[in-house]
Amino acid sequence: MSELRSSLGVEVISPHLDDAAFSSWHQVEKIGSRVLTIFTGIPDDPTPSKWDLSTGFDSSHDVMRARIQENEKALAISSTEAVNLDYLEREYRDVSPSVAEITDRIEAVSLGGASFIAAAGIGKYGRSHIDHVITRRVGRELLERGRDVSFFVDLPYMLPIMRMDHWPERLPIEKIKRELDLDVEVESCELSEEEQMRKKEASHAYETQFARTNRTAFGALSRNSAYRWEALIHPK
């Protein structure tokens, strides 16, 4: 299946407008790949969230428009198509959309016979963001519908603080199995030097989010070694 994905590309299902580039750049760059981002909607109320305020914005409208433009700039580095599904992020909604509804929408906009790679929604420090968890559940729903689905390890949240060499080999596999409720195997993806350079450029294109996300990840994104490895989780 990896050879097929390499030739046809994949549909990378991202919770937010930076997660695919941060976490699955090796897949994003494959010819024919597309990034389907779920939570890209601009809320009716311009009141900023606490996160928006921490990134220097006083309007949810302004920050979401900026983030959409940043995503287009980042994905243009690999000539990857961006597809935005326009659901509201957790900070802007009262009720979460249903997993079945999102899955229906993804199947409607996906390429025929496409393979999917969805966020695993597994955090190393504390609970995972609900939008990432919803994305994981969408991936599971697609799997149950008979689609070809793998999961990407969410970065930078699963990066080690200190030792970054070959970190996919040290992932908590039993925790991953429990969270996904699947028997799985982990594929380590080592990016070439050129891929690492492009990934770093793409990651820094998310100017509104990069500094705040880096602080949340204890500065991991400031280290060149953070861009060398990614990991995929494949159901057995």
Would the pLDDT of 7 be above 50? no
> What are the backbone dihedrals phi and psi of residue 46, each rounded to the nearest 5 degrees, phi first?
-80, 0
- 4 pLDDT higher than 90: no
Share of the chain above pLDDT 70, in %: 95
Tokens of 195: 């891929």
The pTM of the whole model exceeds 0.85: yes
Give the count of alpha carbons within 13 A of 170, CB side only: 12
Q: Residue 179's domain spans which residues?
A: 2-235
From CA 120, how far away is CA 133, in angstroms rounded?
7
Residue 22 confidence (pLDDT): 97
Q: What is the mean pLDDT of residues 46-75?
A: 96
State the average pLDDT for the chain. 93
Domain count for the chain, please give it.
1
207 touches 57 (CB < 8 A): no
pLDDT digits (tens, 9 = 90+) for 88-135: 999 999 999 999 999 999 999 998 778 999 999 998 766 789 999 999
Q: At 62, which CATH number?
A: 3.40.50.10320
pLDDT score of 125: 62
Residue 201 has pLDDT above 80, yes or no: yes
Q: Is the pLDDT of residue 5 over 70?
A: no
Q: Which two tokens stand for residue 103?
A: 């899955």
CA-wise closest residue to 21 among 219, 163, 207? 207
Which position has the token pair 């969805």? 118
Residue 8 scores a pLDDT above 70 = no
Please choose, from the candidates 118, 150, 85, 158, the residue with its C-alpha nearest in 3D space to the C-alpha of residue 12: 118
- Tell me the three-class secondary structure of 157-180, residue by residue: CCCCCCCCCCHHHHCCHHHHHHHH
What is the average per-residue pLDDT within 31-39? 95
pLDDT tens per residue, range 204-234: 999 999 999 999 888 999 999 999 999 999 9
| pLDDT bracket for residue 163 (50, 70, 90) | confident
Does the structure show a pLDDT above 80 at 170? yes
- State whether the Cα torsion 175-176-179-180 is positive or negative: negative
pLDDT of 87 reads 98
